Amino acid sequence: MAVWPCTETRHGWVWAYNLEHLDLIRRFAQAPWGEGIRYHDHGRKMTVVGRLPTWMQQAKNRDEVLRPIARVHTSLLRP
C-alpha cells in the first residue's frame, strides 16, 4: 500500500494511505479533545487512531496536524 506524504512538520511527517485515512485523521484532530471520534466507525477498536504518533494525539499540536491536511484538500480541489 502506497503512503501519501502530506508534509513534514517539526515533529514528524503527516501522511495518509488515501483520502479516507486523511479524513479520519482530520476528524480526530478536529474533535473536542478528550472526546475523539468514535473508534467503531470502521468496525475496529483503536486501530488507526490509536496508532497515530503521540505528537499527533496531543491537543497542543492540533494546528500542525490540520494545516497540511487542509493543503492537500485544497490542492485536490484546484482544476
Tell me the three state secondary structure of residue 3: coil
- Supply 51's cell numbers: 496508532
pTM of the model: 0.73
**Type of residue at 72:** V
Q: Which residues pair with 15 in a beta bridge?
A: 5
Burial grade of 47 (CB within 10 A; 0-12, 13-18, 19 or more): exposed
Q: Are 17 and 3 in contact (CB under 8 A)?
A: yes
Residue range 15-66, pLDDT digits in tens: 888 888 889 899 988 888 655 555 445 555 556 777 888 898 888 999 999 9
- Taking the C-alpha atoms of residue 56 and residue 63, their distance in angstroms, rounded to an integer, is 10
